[in-house]
A and B are shown apart, each in its own frame.
Chain A
Amino acid sequence: MTTTPTSPSDTAVASVESGSGQSPLLEVRNLKMHFPIRKGFLKRVVGHVKAVDDVTFSVERGTVFGLVGESGCGKSTTGRCVIRLLKATAGEIVYTMPDDEPVHIEALDPESLRIMRRHIQIVFQDPYASLNPRLTLKQIVGEPLVINNVSQGQDLQDRVAELLRRVGLSPEHMNRYPHAFSGGQRQRISLARALALNPRFIVADEPVSALDVSVQAQILNLIKDLREEFGLTYLFIAHNMSVIKHICDSVAVMYVGQIVEMTTTRQLFRKPLHPYTEALLEAIPVPDPRRDRHRIVLEGDVPNPADPPSGCYFHPRCAYAQDVCRTETPPLAEHTPGHLARCHFAAELELKGMTI
């Protein structure tokens, strides 16, 4: 926020143009996050929960990259590792600075990390837990500016007012406390706080999951608008495929800590290559009563990440599983250009997608 934002449309155009030739804005390589399981009086480590297990993806400038999966698949943990709220066990997180200098986020010392954090911000799921109830809106939204000595006094007030206006809140509410606001308004406040330092990259961790249906749409539209206005790039974490479809350019589907399929949103929905993706698409309740209600339902439960199945993690629930799936772990392989899937039979299976 040291420089005033240039005309928003310019930034957006610039970032879209730079998308093709240059390196991606964020690259995550072989990210691992293993939480030790401790037992007994001496707290000995008896095993590890592989919450994130060898995850690799990259996010192009100006795009929205979706991470989708069911609870416990490691999508939120991945998001938190990316902005170093958690320190990853292994792997590289490379962020390209505005001067094209790559920065290894996982290796930053505390001081460089503080500077780095101006570029990457996060919006959380729970609109109630993400705002400190003892602070006013001005203090909440202005906190990043105060911490980083960007602004104070009247200037701070003006900036906070502007931020609130950008997210569709009235600047007159600046001196109110969060308890006076509804869930949707609180998510707007969170967005304003995330935008305060004029970041280029935002991790949105299930930002609409806790909201009412009618409010969800407002926030999704706002996230889209802000992307264009500020040329933002998002890592968008969600469990709802319809939301992903609506907002993401490309998607990675996660299952038990691993990416099982990754491609553009259009491709993923039209022609999924992994049986889990197919099952996820099948499972979504579609708001259309004329659609056939009887469908294939995935059996069983998500495995415990502390004790995953042998071979392909998905094989106990997979309708297409063969012997090889029980013994051999499939690699995440590129089957068609830009379309990766972790399945032995990705090339052979004819899976059901959505007609778009």
Chain B
Amino acid sequence: MSDQSLTLPSAVSEPQAGEVEINLSAGEIGQLSLWYLIWRRFLRNRLAVAATFVLLLLYLMVALAEFITPYDHLISNEDFVARAPQLPRFRDETGQFHFRPFVYGTTTELDTYNLDWVHKDDTTQMYPLKLFVKGAPYKLLGLFPSERHLYGVDAPGTVFLLGTDRLGRDLFSRIIFGGRISLTVGLIGVSLTILFGSVMGTISGYFGGPVDTVIQRFIELLMSFPSIALWAALAAAMPADITIVTRFFLISIILSLIGWTSLARQVRAKVLAFREMEFSSAATAAGASHFRIIMVHMLPNALSHIIVIATLAIPGMILAETALSFLGLGILPPAVSWGTLLQDAQTVGVVIKKPWLMLPGAFVIVSVLSFNFLGDGIRDAVDPFAL
């Protein structure tokens, strides 16, 4: 009568899955699927929920980039080269309060000593910020033609909330458009990772034997490459004449080429454990096929782990893309990503004189942290129900 699992003191100190919802009766909980219970636990983690909202907001912004941004991110403007951020103001020079926020105009002088343009706020010109202004025409989500932008000021005023780059392009617009590539490269890369990782991991763990050995040795080989060098080599080997879209997909594939290995190992470990669990044996005894056992008994149980691992892998992908583009091996101009934007911030001079050019880095940090918080939150929610 070895009921260790039942008499461990932890059965009291660490409530089991079934005990979690004290305010529900056993019958009510019984009706709830594990996914629902996991969801309820997830909602209790404030940091993870906040991170989810941040990420949703970021993705919404990049999806609606044309509407959110006031300017076309590709159009340069030599009158406003490297202008500092124009922050919306409520009080003017005289200290008078304005209900509607406004920005000042710009006066530009040439600093003959440094041979550099110097922009100053022209306090005589005030441009109130307006919502839903008319501007350059575009197609929202590629479908709906429109020329309204979320915010803007009347010409000849300008509103560069986060300043401009060295060609006078609005940095905020560039960051949002850059996020389109940087944030989606992670998602696509991770989808490919999940696909490779779970298929290879499942095959390796379920069938074992020589198949397993071959796959494991191959994974070890891949993992032993220095990843940045491998990425760089593969990226450098890409033909130069391919379109931006192709290049983008190829980079996603390159990133997931190494990313899948760790996922495959973890899926394999799970499958190995599930194979020994008696519910798989019971299914075998009932005549279930290998396919059914994998699809009904193994993958659904491994899915929560896969989601956690995948979520935690996205920031790595974002960082990798940023790193590649920063080195000039990833996304190439005129396409923008956070990595290409950060290329502008490579010199000390920029860091000292034009610090706003480092702002794309802040977006990288926020999104990477949010993905990490989200992944941790999912893991904490999944853990008590995991096998």
A/B: CB atoms within 8 Å of each other: yes
Interface residues, chain A, CB within 8 Å of chain B?
A: 80, 83, 85, 113-115, 117-118, 120-122, 124-126, 128-135, 143-144, 147-148, 173, 175-177, 179-181, 183, 190, 193-194, 196-197, 209-213, 216, 240
Which single member of B1, B17, B34, B277 contacts A209 (CB below 8 Å)?
B1
Given the known inter-chain contacts A122-B285, A124-B281, please indicate yes or no for A132 contacting B34, CB distance below 8 A: no
Interface string of B27-44 (1 = CB under 8 A from A): 101111110000000000
- Interchain residue pairs with CB less than 8 A apart (17): A85-B285, A121-B285, A128-B5, A129-B277, A144-B286, A148-B286, A177-B33, A179-B16, A179-B18, A179-B385, A180-B29, A181-B30, A197-B286, A210-B1, A210-B2, A210-B3, A210-B6
- Residues of B close to A193: CB separation below 8 A: 282, 286
Q: Is the CB of A210 within 8 A of B5?
A: yes
Q: Is the CB of B278 within 8 A of A126?
A: yes
The residue in A115, A144, A148 that gathers the most chain B C-beta atoms within 10 A of its C-beta is A144
Known contacts A113-B287, A133-B387, A179-B34; 7 further A-B pairs (Cβ under 8 A): A83-B285, A115-B287, A126-B5, A132-B297, A175-B31, A194-B282, A209-B2
- Residues of B close to A134: CB separation below 8 A: 33-34, 300-301
CB of A109, distance to nearest CB on chain B (Å): 13
Lowest 8 CB-CB distances: which A-B pairs, in order? A180-B30, A176-B30, A144-B286, A130-B278, A124-B278, A114-B287, A132-B279, A134-B300
CB of A87, distance to nearest CB on chain B (Å): 12
- Residues of A close to B279: CB separation below 8 A: 129-132
Q: Is the CB of B2 within 8 A of A148?
A: no
- Residues of B close to A118: CB separation below 8 A: 287
Which partner residue on chain A sits nearest B276 by CB separation?
A129
B91 within 8 A of A: no
Given the known inter-chain contacts A129-B277, A132-B297, A197-B286, please indicate yes or no for A213 contacting B1, CB distance below 8 A: yes
Q: Is the CB of B6 within 8 A of A212?
A: yes
Q: Is the CB of A179 within 8 A of B29?
A: yes
Which single member of A117, A181, A183 contacts B286 (CB below 8 Å)?
A117
CB of A67, distance to nearest CB on chain B (Å): 17
CB of B7, distance to nearest CB on chain A (Å): 9
Interface residues, chain B, CB within 8 Å of chain A?
A: 1-3, 5-6, 16-18, 26-27, 29-34, 277-279, 281-289, 292, 296-297, 300-301, 385, 387
- Residues of A close to B5: CB separation below 8 A: 126, 128, 210
Q: What CA separation (Å) do A203 and B1 show in the bound complex?
A: 19
Which partner residue on chain A sits nearest B3 by CB separation?
A210
- Residues of B close to A179: CB separation below 8 A: 16-18, 29-30, 34, 385
- Residues of B close to A115: CB separation below 8 A: 287
Q: Is the CB of A133 within 8 A of B284?
A: no
- Residues of B close to A209: CB separation below 8 A: 1-3
Q: What CA separation (Å) do A259 and B26 show in the bound complex?
A: 45
Which partner residue on chain A sits nearest B387 by CB separation?
A133
Q: Is the CB of B285 within 8 A of A143?
A: no
Which partner residue on chain B sits nearest A85 by CB separation?
B281
- Residues of B close to A212: CB separation below 8 A: 3, 6
Q: Is the CB of A133 within 8 A of B385?
A: yes
Q: What CA separation (Å) do A176 and B37 show in the bound complex?
A: 13
Given the known inter-chain contacts A134-B301, A212-B3, A240-B1, please indicate yes or no for A143 contacting B288, CB distance below 8 A: yes
Given the known inter-chain contacts A176-B30, A179-B34, A180-B29, please indicate yes or no for A85 contacting B301, CB distance below 8 A: no
Given the known inter-chain contacts A147-B288, A240-B1, please indicate yes or no for A190 contacting B30, CB distance below 8 A: no
Which partner residue on chain B sits nearest A208 by CB separation?
B1
Q: What CA separation (Å) do A177 and B37 show in the bound complex?
A: 11
The residue in A85, A175, A196 that gathers the most chain B C-beta atoms within 10 A of its C-beta is A85
Which partner residue on chain B sits nearest A122 by CB separation?
B285
Q: What CA separation (Å) do A121 and B284 show in the bound complex?
A: 10
Q: What CA separation (Å) do A126 and B289 show in the bound complex?
A: 23
Q: What CA separation (Å) do A132 and B277 show in the bound complex?
A: 9
- Residues of B close to A143: CB separation below 8 A: 283, 286, 288, 296
Which partner residue on chain B sits nearest A144 by CB separation?
B286
Q: What CA separation (Å) do A133 and B278 show in the bound complex?
A: 12
- Residues of B close to A197: CB separation below 8 A: 286
Q: What CA separation (Å) do A240 and B3 show in the bound complex?
A: 13
Q: What CA separation (Å) do A176 and B5 show in the bound complex?
A: 22
Q: Is the CB of B27 within 8 A of A180?
A: yes
Which partner residue on chain A sits nearest B18 by CB separation?
A179
Which partner residue on chain B sits nearest A180 by CB separation?
B30
Q: Is the CB of B282 within 8 A of A122?
A: yes
CB of B387, distance to nearest CB on chain A (Å): 7
Q: What CA separation (Å) do A283 and B237 show in the bound complex?
A: 73
Q: What CA separation (Å) do A293 and B207 show in the bound complex?
A: 52
Q: What CA separation (Å) do A267 and B281 show in the bound complex?
A: 35
